Each structure stands twice: as C-alpha cells, then as structure tokens.
Structure 1
Amino acid sequence: MHVTAQSTRSILTKRRLMATTLVFVVAATAWAEVKEPYGEDYPVVVVPGTSTPSPTPTPTPAPVTVPTAPAGRSLRLGVNVAGSVYYNTERVFANLAQIAGPWKDPSAGYAAMAASKLNAYGFPISAGVLALNVPQPAWAGKAVAVTCTWLGSGTVRIDGDARVVGANNRVSFTWPGRTGTNRPNILVNVSGANTAAPFRALDCREPGLVANGQFDQRFVDDMKPFGVLRFLDWSNTNGNPASVTWANRSTLDRAGTDGTALEHEIDLANAVGSDPWFTVPYNADENYIRNMGKLVHDRLAPGRRAYFELSNEVWNYSFPVASQALNEGIAEKLSTDKYSNGLMRYAEKSIWMHKFLTTAFADNPARLVRVVSAQNDNSFSARTIMAFRDTAKWVDALATAPYFGHSFYTGANTYVTDLSKLFVSLEAMRVSALAKARENKAIADKYGKRYVAYEAGQHIIAPAAKATLDAALQRSPLMYDIYKRYIADWKAQMGDTMTLYSATGTISQYGSWGMREYAGQPLAETPKRRAVLEAAR
C-alpha cells in the first residue's frame, strides 16, 4: 500500500508549542530550559512528487458494534506532564528560578545570554535578567509573598510587576495576582557581580512553602491520580538535536542537549508513585541509550515500570525527525514504496534502541515497557511498523494518539456558533477517533501486544477569530460530558493505558491542550480535568 499525501494529511496539524530553539543555563544545582514558542497550526505539507490533497469532511459515523476489553484488564490513566518555563502556567519546582528559562543579556537587546557571559555556575558573570516561573495563587488573582536568596556578589533588583532592591543576599517582595488575561511577570535583574565572588544559587520561593525534594508538593499531589507520566515536554525530542551523547546530556547541575535532566523525570515519578514514560531523542547514541537504561533501572523506585519510546511521532512531517527517518530509510532502500521507508527506518531504529534497554532490565524485564508509536488515523503506519523484520520481538506495546476535533472550525462548522450543535459535531469526531483506535488495537492484538495511547483528548485548533467561541466550548459542561464518554468508551473497547495531553495549558489559537488552564485552577472551572479525575478514581 502506498502512503499518499492524502493519507498523511491529518498528521500535519499538530499540538503544542514546538521546541525549535533550546537555550540552557546552569543554575546552581539546577539549570534553566527555554522553549521558544512557535505556533503549530501547520498547513498541509506536501512532499515533492505528490499532489495536494483535497479537504474531505469528517463523516458522521454509523452505529457500530464494538468489542469489549478482556475481563480483568483495568484502565490506567496517564498524563503528559507540562514543561517548566516562565511562560507556562504549570508550576513544577519549589524554586521559581529553577528551569524558568534563559538568562537574558541587557547589553544585547535582552537576547539569551551567550555562554561566554555566564560563570562556571551558569549565572551571569556581571549582569543579566531572568524571568521567574509564576506561583500558583498569582494565576488565580491572589498576591503572593516571595523571598529570593543567593550567594556571591552582585545587586539584585526585582522588576516587572513588583519593584524592590535587595540587600545582604536577600530580597522579599509581593507578587501581585493576575488581572485580566495578562501574565503576572516578575524579573530578577542582576548587576555588579564579579568573578572573585561569583553570583550563584539563586532561590526564589514563598516562605514556608511545602516542597517534595526539588518539587512543589502541590504539583506532586496534582500528578498523583495518574499512573503514567509521559515526559515529552520535558525532553528536547521534538527539537531533534543532531548529537545526543552521555557526555553532553543534561544533569542536575549542567545543561545539555536532551532536555530536562533524566534525574528530574525519574525523581518526579518516584515522588508521585507513577510509571515514567521517556521519549528518547532520535539521535541519541548507543552509549547514551545504555547509560540511560542503567540510570533509570537503578534510580527508579522498585515496583515502578519504565516506558521507553524512540522520539515522538516519527511519522509526522511537522517534526524534523520524520524527514530524517525518511531519508535514512530511502538511503538504506528499506522499501520500494517511498513513504514506507520512514516507517521502516523508525521500526529499525526502535529495535536497535530496545535491544540495549532489554539488556539494562534483563534482571527484571517486567519493569520495562518497550513502545513503538503510530498514527491513529492511518493504521497502515502501525501495520508497517509491526510487520518490519522482528519488531514484535522487541516491543511490548503499540501506541497511538486517538485525538478528536481536527480541523474543527472548518467545513460545516465554519459559521456555526451554537455550542450544542458544535458538540454534536465533536461527538461524531470522538466516535470516529475511537473507531480508528480499534483498528490499531486489532493490530496490537494480532502480535500479542498491549495497545495504549501516548496522547489523547480533544485536538481543536481555533483561529483568532473564534477565540471567544472556543473558550466557551472548552469551558462548557458539555466538554465534561464528552470526556466522560471518551474515557469510558476507551476503557470498554481498549482497556489499557490512556495518556492524556496535557496536564496544564492555556486556551489559545495554538490549541487548548491543558486539562486545566493554570496550576491551582478550581476544579469546578476545569470540565476536562474533572471528568478525568472522576474516571481515575
């Protein structure tokens, strides 16, 4: 079967804020990760040599008889954990300066500071500006008392929505609550530091804050209902760095190419009591894979299982990894069908990776879950991947993302403003997405493998002109109802882990992926999260 541009059309409108640029700074015992936000409402990408696909309406599915999951299998809900960076609405770490973003250089138009201007601890040698992560109550409009401390020389001035100058390596201020839709913004402005007493160890938090290791205890508690934590947005997987080695990886005290330190991911899973799901950068070398396997094996709490997936959506040409895999597959002449080459190369490299991980967990294979992922709407991708050589021997689970609501405000819905009518359309899309999921489950069943969802939920991308309408739709009680049916039907028909995307995120023209809009949002205002938490009981 040939994968035409039409069959790949639906993979190309993607979620999330893509990590096209990553700048890291070391921050004492932690470092700061920045993901520059670029909207991912991508147009259709047509590969040379193919024709431009014509839009096709989503049909209203006819009633069907669906299979029931085998008795004794229980639903486990997972979640994709939102990343830590100053412009996100999740608060992960107790220290608001930890993994908040890059230091900015006032002398260079506030661009990310060059490494040559950072000291050995990853802080400015003389001057710099850092935007802090936002504490939860501020998002809810409440003022928050915060104290910053540091070591070494330099003057610290708090700028933004509060203005205070510190003294004696300490400054306290009140972070005002959000008004309207504006992000409450606090900047740490450092000046006059010197190399004799390097500025370092900046720590900003609320007095008396309850922490769990480096994490805010409230964040840990918010993750506890979920049996699986997928760390896509903590990794640099979507950025597809050209070189990922154990020597250049991120650690607790050094920035690297692979994203947030693996130790942080493992430690959060341990603190929550959940299974971690790692998305391994495609270009990670053998030494990285072997050492990653050993680190996870040794550091992860007994009784916890570790999921490993090579990259993320290698079939999706919105991401640079898809073209890399395609070109590699073509060079190897894996298939006479052009687009099968990318899928087969992904399978081939997944086998390569999973062999090393199998060795790392040889003493207790039950703790290892080896995943391959495919496109939910195109089961050809799953069939091709699973049928390639001995993929099935090295895989424990096939995963897809049964999103619903693609291209929602187009076609028949272009001029519809009645929420009840929009939800009728969305319900048809939900049913259709699960019908596609059943096709993929049948493939997993054929090989005796688990079938799980690596991401799931609504996939509505609203243009700016639909912002008010979409906000009402996302917050509607009808969204609670549709999520309840969605999860219940997944449990009845598939019966294994559904990992939702995402824990926390705003409603915007780039998607409304969060189950809640900000950390600490009242549950009554979060229909998606409320439905999920009820299902997780």
Structure 2
Amino acid sequence: MELFKIKNLLIFNLLFFTVPSILLLAVGGCSAKEKTLDLKANIKSNIKSNNNQTNLVAEQLVKQDLSQESAVVKSAKKPDNGKFPMGINLASDVSWSTSKMWINIAKSARDWGYVDKPYQPNLELKLSPQGYPLSDAALWFEGYEYDPGVWQFSYQGSGEIDFAAGGKLLTSQRKADGTVTGTFQRSDRKSPDGLLIPVHLTLRNIDPKHPPSNLKIVASEYDLNSTAVYTPEFLNFIKPFKILRYMDLAQTNQSKIKTWSDRLKPNAPGKGVAYEDLIELSNITHKSAWLNIPHLADDDYIRQTAELFAQKYDPSLDLYLENSNELWNHQFAQTRDLRESLMAQLIKAEGLTPEAAKLKIDQESLPQKANLDRLCHISAIFRQEFGTRAERIKPVLAGQAANSRHLRKGLEHLVATGQQESCHLEAIAIAPYLNTQSGRDFNPAQSMKCLPK
C-alpha cells in the first residue's frame, strides 16, 4: 500500500553576490506528468504500514546520495527557446543592492537613523504604525544602478525634508492636502572605490500627531506619478523564471517577528518587503511565490498571512511554503532559537540538566522533527484559509545537500506520526551552490551551463 508520494525535489541555492541568486527547481516548465519526479524516475515511497518498515523514502535519499550529482537535476527539462525550468531566490532588499528593483527607491533605504549619523539605525526612535518617525530622523540610501541627475520626491504629513552628501535639495512645495513634492540633485560624485556617494535624507520638525508617511523617491528615468511598483529592468531580469522565492526579500534569517503587528509594513523604508508587495510581484508576473514563514511567528500571524494571500494572491498560482530557512545552520538565529526552545521544554517537562537535554536533542533528532511538525501546522492553517483552493498550497521540507540526515529524520517523523495525508507535503529541497564566481556579469543562461549533462 503506497501511503504517500513526494512530488518534487526542489533544488535551491543562495549565492553571495548582490544580483538575485539562482534557485533551481525541477518543476518549472515541466508538464504535470514530469512534475512527479523520482530520485531516478519518480520519487515514490512504497512505504508499508507495518512495524518492520525499513524502506522509508528517507532511506532512498541516502542511497541516492543527494550530496553528489542528483538524478533529479539530470532529469530536469532542459531550456527550450530561452525558457528555463528554474526559479529564483531574490536577493535581499538592501540599500547597496544592484538589483534595481523599485521605482520608489525609498523602499530599499536603510532603517531610520540619527540626523547626524544617518547610517546608524536609531533603535530607540519611536515610529508610527506605518513605520515612520515621530521625531527628527534620517535615511541613508544609495541607488547605485539608477542614473544620477534631478530626482523627485513626495511624502505626506509633517516634517521638513533636506538632503546631504550625495544629494542636494532643489525644490520643495507643500500642497493644501498636506502632500509635499519636490526635487533634489542626485550627485554623480563617486567614492575612492568607484561607487556613487550615498544620499542622506533628513526629516526635521515632525509633529508626532501628524507624522510623515508614504515617502517616494524616484530617479530621473522614472515618473513620480507612476503607479508601477517595480522597474522594467527588474521585471525583465526575472522573466525567464517560474517561481520566486522570497526568503531574503522578507528578511527570514534572524527574523524577530512574532505577531501580526510586527510584520513588514508597505511603504515603510528599511524593514524588508511587505507581503503586499510580494503578492503584487507574483500577480503581475504570474509567477508562483515561495514563502518562508518567520520561525517565531505565532498562529495569529500565520493565519492573517494566509488570509491576506487567500484574498489578494492570484488564485491560479501555486503557493510554496517553507518553515523559516536553513534550520540546520547554526549561524542563523532561527536555528539557535529552535534548539534553545527544545532545551527549555525538556528541562521543564523532564527535569533534565542542560547537558542531558542537549544530548537528547541531538540523539533523537528533535530539531528535524520540530521543523516537520511546524511545516505541517503552517500548511494546515493555509489550507484552511484557502478553502476550495487548498490544492494550491505546496509545503516544502527543506534540508541540506551535504547532509541527508536532516531530510531523512524529518521524513521518518512524517511517517511515524501518520502525517502523510494531513501534511500534503509537496516537495523536499536541498541547497547546492553553482556559478558562485559570476559576479556582476551574471546572467541566467550561464547557470544552466553548471547543470550536470
């Protein structure tokens, strides 16, 4: 009796340069038949419901050795007329990014800083619910890939604007409705390393009862009144891909988000990209989203996220879900937080010493089990909110290419707890790297050359 089938092996990587990194998917551009893959032909479980069960799907992972050339990569459909069977993990939305993603450059500015030190985040600064300062503050942004010249700005509410360093105020006018519009000169001066001098924006004399909001900064090549969110250059770059992974854009790593009130806000500089903007990007490009849920997020946050996507996300698109990111990687807070949480539970429930709790966590693979349980829990909430479109929810269990144990233990736990049917696990994912030396000359076609023949 076949209890379940893992439909896809998704292969993603994170590349450490500023252009968006490549995410290889064995799904994009494939027919429905081709989407049901195997480690050689199809990944099938053939799991038997008996006490002597030994041939788990997880054991197949070890036998095929995912740290070597993957048969699934070999079976991925090759490019046809420039269409890549690939997705992309979009790079972080940081001020020094060269992605040239936004029409409104304020979206990629750094966190609100001190007036005399705009590059230094002011962690004590009080913000409005929309993410804007209630007292004097400053922004630092670069916009390296945008043309210098006369740039435009607008915002609503109180505050007197000025520019310094790589910017100089030219005009500013407050309208009757409280909207401020104007222009500033974006300097073409460069630092010794050849990069444009950053712009310092300051807002002074802010009335906390009427704080600023909806700041827009638009380069000379774009229209301040445009309703477009993303630049044509950015949309053209991601055109070949089928799925957009939003792990970095949504600031998944080291996330401190716990409640819905903590979430990333639309039009708030320096805090990552809001779900509304991610939904807009998927909708206008008709590309499925891969969403990473913050590791500390409570059930209300998960449910409200699911409600938002159920209401605004293109109903014809799939939605891939992952619990946080790389929960095996100790350089990330989410991995450390998970282990500390498990340790606290064991100390309280079983009276173990910290040393004994740590040993049990490792011996019984508790982080891998907890990751699987939370992924299934997230999936259940999203499926409930999506209702009749629940089949669009695609949970992804992520592991590590170099160590199949993480996936194996998670899949063993899936079977041992009988969650095969309820979890609706769509795929497993690993994280190999390719084309890491491409730098600024990167283009998607180059990465295809890295695939096994």
TM class, shorter-chain normalised? 0.5 to 0.7
| Partner in structure 2 of residue 250 of structure 1 | 264
Task: For 1:396-475, list aligned pairs within 5 A.
Answer: 396-403=426-433, 457-459=434-436, 474=439
CA contact (8 A) 1:121 1:200 kept: yes
| Partner in structure 2 of residue 69 of structure 1 | 75
CA contact (8 A) 2:399 2:407 kept: yes
Q: Give structure 2 stretches of 5+ with no counterpart.
A: 1-13, 18-67, 174-179, 351-356
Question: Distance between the aligned counterparts of 1:378 and 1:352, measured in 2?
Answer: 25
| Partner in structure 1 of residue 161 of structure 2 | 156
CA contact (8 A) 1:96 1:203 kept: yes
**Cα–Cα, structure 1 residues 115 and 398, in superposed 2: closer, same or farther, change >3 Å?**
same
Q: Encode CA deviations 1:174-216: one digit per residue, 9 max, x unaligned.
A: 4427575324411213334445765444322135626563322
Q: Answer with 276-285 or 381-390: which moved more.
A: 381-390
Q: Does structure 1 residue 381 correspond to structure 2 residue 411?
A: no
Question: Distance between the aligned counterparts of 1:273 and 1:109, measured in 2?
Answer: 38
Question: Distance between the aligned counterparts of 1:482 and 1:97, measured in 2?
Answer: 32
How far is 1:387 from its partner? 1.2
**Secondary structure, counterpart of 1:486 in structure 2:** coil
CA contact (8 A) 1:297 1:361 kept: yes
Aligned AA (2:283): N
Question: Distance between the aligned counterparts of 1:289 and 1:223, measured in 2?
Answer: 28
Question: Distance between the aligned counterparts of 2:385 and 2:439, measured in 1?
Answer: 43
Q: Does structure 1 residue 129 correspond to structure 2 residue 159?
A: no
**Secondary structure, counterpart of 2:244 in structure 1:** strand
Aligned AA (1:250): L
Task: For 1:129-528, list aligned pairs within 5 A.
Answer: 129-134=138-143, 136-138=145-147, 143-168=148-173, 169=180, 170-176=182-188, 180-194=193-207, 198-207=211-220, 209=222, 211=226, 213-241=228-256, 244-252=258-266, 259-329=272-342, 331=345, 337-338=362-363, 340-388=365-413, 389-393=417-421, 394=423, 395-403=425-433, 457-459=434-436, 474=439, 483-487=447-451, 489=452
How much identity, in percent, do the aligned residues show?
20
Aligned AA (1:372): L
How far is 1:153 from its partner? 4.8
Q: Encode CA deviations 1:77-118: one digit per residue, 9 max, x unaligned.
A: 111112323222223221122241222213678642356555
Pairing partner for 1:84 from 70, 93, 101:
93
TM-score, structure 1 as length reference: 0.58
How far is 1:400 from its partner? 0.6
Q: Answer with 93-102 or 374-383: which moved more.
A: 93-102
**Secondary structure, counterpart of 1:324 in structure 2:** helix
Question: Distance between the aligned counterparts of 2:214 and 2:76, measured in 1?
Answer: 53
Q: Answer with 158-167 or 72-81: which moved more.
A: 72-81
Question: Distance between the aligned counterparts of 1:98 and 1:386, measured in 2?
Answer: 40
**Secondary structure, counterpart of 1:279 in structure 2:** strand
**Secondary structure, counterpart of 1:136 in structure 2:** coil
Aligned AA (1:271): I
Q: Answer with 76-85 or 385-394: which moved more.
A: 385-394
Question: Distance between the aligned counterparts of 1:255 and 1:161, measured in 2?
Answer: 18
How far is 1:255 from its partner? 8.8
CA contact (8 A) 1:156 1:166 kept: no
How far is 1:350 from its partner? 1.7
Question: Distance between the aligned counterparts of 2:384 and 2:93, measured in 1?
Answer: 32
Q: Answer with 175-184 or 315-324: which moved more.
A: 175-184
How far is 1:314 from its partner? 0.5
Question: Distance between the aligned counterparts of 1:178 and 1:120, measured in 2?
Answer: 36
How far is 1:121 from its partner? 5.6
**Secondary structure, counterpart of 1:291 in structure 2:** helix
Aligned AA (1:381): H
How many residues align structurally? 359
Aligned AA (2:377): W
Pairing partner for 1:106 from 115, 120, 145:
115
CA contact (8 A) 2:161 2:203 kept: yes
**Cα–Cα, structure 1 residues 356 and 69, in superposed 2: closer, same or farther, change >3 Å?**
same
How far is 1:224 from its partner? 1.9
| Partner in structure 1 of residue 56 of structure 2 | none
CA contact (8 A) 1:130 1:187 kept: yes
Aligned AA (1:321): Q
**Cα–Cα, structure 1 residues 224 and 199, in superposed 2: closer, same or farther, change >3 Å?**
same
How far is 1:365 from its partner? 3.3
How far is 1:397 from its partner? 0.5
Q: Encode CA deviations 1:39-76: one digit per residue, 9 max, x unaligned.
A: xxxxxxxxxxxxxxxxxxxxxxxx99967538899962
| Partner in structure 2 of residue 504 of structure 1 | none
Question: Distance between the aligned counterparts of 2:388 and 2:95, measured in 1?
Answer: 41
Q: Answer with 129-138 or 116-125: which moved more.
A: 116-125
